[in-house]
Structure 1
Amino acid sequence: MQSFRVAIILIIVWGLSLNGFSQFDMGGGGFGGKDTSSKKLKLAGFPYLNYDRTQEFMYGAVVMGMFRFNKEDTISPKSIVGAMGIGTTTQTWGAVGFSMLYLNEDKWRTMMFGGYFSFNYQFFWSPFPETGAFIKYNTGYTMLSGQLLRRITKVDNPRKLYGGVHGMYAEAKTTFSIIDTNIKTAPTQLNNVGLDFDYDSRNDVYYPDKGFFVESSWDWYADWLGNRNTFNKIHLSVNNYQRIHKRIIQASRFHTSFGVGSVPFEGQEIIGQTDIRGYSEGKQRGNQLFALQTESRIQIWKRISMVAFAGIATTTYDASDFSWNNLWPGAGGGIRVMVMKEEKFNIGLDVAAGRDDWSMSFTMGETF
């Protein structure tokens, strides 16, 4: 489910669009991790530190555990449960809990996410061409989201196809600050139900070096769910992974998300976040997003690796508004530290530059 997966990443990098987690042998030591007896549960805790142009200094902590739901099930990937809390010097803060469970020889996959965050950000208001100004706003989000997937193909088929359903309850309360005046808007409900179809031929869910991962979903924001704005959202992500050298993995991603209907301000797409690093001001937004990027993952020493990436993205309010002049490139690099060796689970830091903007982001695992 795209909304669940991106929601966690959005909190990590502090960009919100309400659309879809990504990636330390603890051995009882290092990086705050603890391996319990018989290796039934691996626990890890680590601090979160970051800085960007809009949120300024960010700080917090993450605690998570990896385990096999059934110790006799060696086919399913390890499941994850965790919680995190983050604050910033601009008074943005949030606390969330999350889980990703792989069950019954990977026949079932389920995800849950819930929390509250108060987010101070900005958008660019341009009533006339070549003019405009940033408008600051605060949005308080309460969110609970879940997804259930069932494998369609047989267990012995390495090309896994899943189908399932998802649902989300979300309430957003936004206050705009205009010339020292706070303007509160009515609460916006962003409740949805929807369908999911995923294709997964990766050789590892946390650090793949071969295969494809395709996620597609349809979100229905209907009035009978309590929404004032009724609209639909369609998401499609296509990820490919190739090992081109014993120390280099090439990963590529295409992502699109587009809304049809009366999409509210809180449900719009923002260029930045995980699909095009290099943007943090929130200037480019719309109802539809298209993004393409590629990333080289280079192991340089034992648990240390580097990444180099580049991409391009665009947003529009309608597909007919597409313009080649509205393409936004981004490029940069980062460092990764493998904090769970057996699971090949990384944390890291990325720095990227875009057109008249830049970003720095902390990552749990790989960006995609």
Structure 2
Amino acid sequence: MRKLLGVFLIFPFCILAQESDSTANEGSFAIFPAISYAPNTSLQIGAVGIWVLKDTDNSQSTFQRQSTITPYFVYTLKKQSIAVVNLDYYLPSGQNLNTSIRYYNFPDSYFGIGNDTDPDISEKYTNRFFQVEGQFLHPISEKLFVGGAFDAHFTSIESKVPEGLLETDDPIGVDGGNLLGLGPSFRFDTRDYTIYPTKGYFISSRLMYNGVADFDYFSYLLDVRKYVPIVNEENILAFQFRSQLTFGDEVPFYKLPVLAGDERLRGIANASLYRDRQMMYTQVEYRRPLFWRFGMTLFAGLGDVAHELNDFTFSELKYIAGIGGRLAVIPERKLNIRLDLGFGRGGQNGIYVGISEAF
């Protein structure tokens, strides 16, 4: 879920959850209203849903992989809107459909391209797009999955500033465009639980050719995670390394990898501040419960973007650190809402609200 600028208030509105018992494991559902304000959007109102589906009868696997649906909707008094549905569904035979359907008609910021952009110099524009992205994976074993990835993205860039940054830089995709990406996907997964892992590995990789419609380029994603209990399963260290690489001369600027966000390097002032053809970062997080439904985290990370792989340098690395609070909205499922405060290089900071853990 994208961070909302301005004052963000989110609180329980309705929680419908059924406790697990020895004979059945029913689904759980929760809804939360979201209210915020920013000068370029005015008042924003919306809702976030969390639906953890009833456990499937998958006796072939010893791993507990939970299916979830998380819809999210925001509307502003300036007639801007965001609608997102994230689905992570495991079939009884072990296949996994992980997909996100997004519609955005919302303000965004363009700071330029590269790792030395200025957080105080940007251009506001309207990013209007519809996207269906995800992958379908088939189990080779209870740990190994292979399949295909897809990304259909239809974009219009509107409300540009005359003679502003976008017109001056004239990046690929300055007017928007359409693309369809397809390619193979791979996953190695030994996590004990998908919603709140306490041990195991997660390794995901995919290569896509985005050559249908208006653009022509390759993209590669590698996501490696490790979860380690310290003393007991109430004290968890989570590690992540993530890399997104692009190859080709026709990558639209809005599809270039970005370094920040509510799941990436939390503490960089804006998710769009650093973007370029190649991106790498690593982060670590310490998690533990406190009392009742409350928990906390400490996190840190570093990474950067670059035009080419050999352009990465240690002196330019961006680093962050922060602290977060957790509220278990469906305790029996270990599903949290999180509020994180991050601090970054050069005095940057950010506040982030999200569903479930960052990684």
TM exceeding 0.5: yes
Deviation at 1:254, TM superposition (A): 0.5
Counterpart of 2:2 in 1: which secondary structure?
helix
Which structure 1 residue ranges, 5 or more long, are not aligned? 1-10, 16-29
CA contact (8 A) 1:243 1:250 kept: yes
- Residue 148 (structure 2) aligned to one of 146, 165, 168: 165
**Whole-Å separation in 2 of the counterparts to 1:242 and 1:49:** 36
Distance 1:82 1:272, change over 3 A: closer
CA deviations 1:37-75 (Å, max 9, x no partner) are 976332211123568999897652112322236457695
Distance 1:197 1:71, change over 3 A: closer
- Residue 204 (structure 2) aligned to one of 209, 215, 221: 215
Deviation at 1:325, TM superposition (A): 2.7
Aligned residue number for residue 196 of structure 1: 185
Question: What is the identity, as a one-letter code, of the residue corresponding to 1:78?
Answer: Q
**Whole-Å separation in 1 of the counterparts to 2:223 and 2:198:** 17
Aligned residue number for residue 92 of structure 2: 104
**Whole-Å separation in 1 of the counterparts to 2:117 and 2:70:** 45
Deviation at 1:94, TM superposition (A): 0.4
**Whole-Å separation in 2 of the counterparts to 1:292 and 1:53:** 33
Aligned residues with identical type, % of pairs: 23
CA contact (8 A) 2:4 2:36 kept: no
Distance 1:134 1:302, change over 3 A: same
Aligned residue number for residue 366 of structure 1: 357
Distance 1:125 1:341, change over 3 A: closer
Aligned residue number for residue 48 of structure 1: 34
Question: What is the identity, as a one-letter code, of the residue corresponding to 1:35?
Answer: A
Question: What is the identity, as a one-letter code, of the residue corresponding to 2:181?
Answer: N
Aligned residue number for residue 267 of structure 2: 278
- Residue 324 (structure 2) aligned to one of 329, 334, 353: 334
CA contact (8 A) 2:257 2:278 kept: yes
CA deviations 1:309-364 (Å, max 9, x no partner) are 00001001111322223211111111001111221111111110112321111110
**Whole-Å separation in 2 of the counterparts to 1:56 and 1:328:** 32
Counterpart of 2:283 in 1: which secondary structure?
strand
**Whole-Å separation in 1 of the counterparts to 2:75 and 2:92:** 38
- Residue 67 (structure 1) aligned to one of 53, 63, 68: 53
**Whole-Å separation in 1 of the counterparts to 2:129 and 2:319:** 30
CA deviations 1:280-310 (Å, max 9, x no partner) are 3332211111101100102111321001100
Aligned residue number for residue 4 of structure 1: none
**Whole-Å separation in 2 of the counterparts to 1:141 and 1:213:** 30
Query: Pairwise CA RMSD of aligned residues?
Result: 3.2
Question: What is the identity, as a one-letter code, of the residue corresponding to 2:209?
Answer: W
Which structure 2 residue ranges, 5 or more long, are not aligned? 6-11, 168-172
Deviation at 1:115, TM superposition (A): 2.9
Question: What is the identity, as a one-letter code, of the residue corresponding to 1:205?
Answer: T
Aligned residue number for residue 148 of structure 1: 136
Return the TM-score normalized by structure 1: 0.81
Distance 1:32 1:182, change over 3 A: same
Note the 1:1-368 alignment, pairs <5 A: 11-13=1-3, 32-35=14-17, 40-49=26-35, 59-68=45-54, 70=56, 77-87=65-75, 93-105=81-93, 107-125=94-112, 133-153=121-141, 155=142, 160-175=143-158, 176-178=160-162, 185-222=174-211, 225-226=212-213, 228-246=214-232, 247-261=234-248, 262-273=250-261, 274-281=263-270, 282-356=272-346, 357-368=348-359
Distance 1:293 1:283, change over 3 A: same
**Whole-Å separation in 2 of the counterparts to 1:364 and 1:39:** 22
Distance 1:290 1:301, change over 3 A: same
Question: What is the identity, as a one-letter code, of the residue corresponding to 1:237?
Answer: D
Counterpart of 1:33 in 2: which secondary structure?
strand
Q: How many residues align?
A: 334
CA deviations 1:187-233 (Å, max 9, x no partner) are 311311111100101111111111110111111101xx21x221011
**Whole-Å separation in 2 of the counterparts to 1:312 and 1:57:** 34
CA contact (8 A) 1:346 1:364 kept: yes
Deviation at 1:82, TM superposition (A): 3.7
Deviation at 1:253, TM superposition (A): 0.5
Distance 1:263 1:301, change over 3 A: same
Counterpart of 2:14 in 1: which secondary structure?
coil
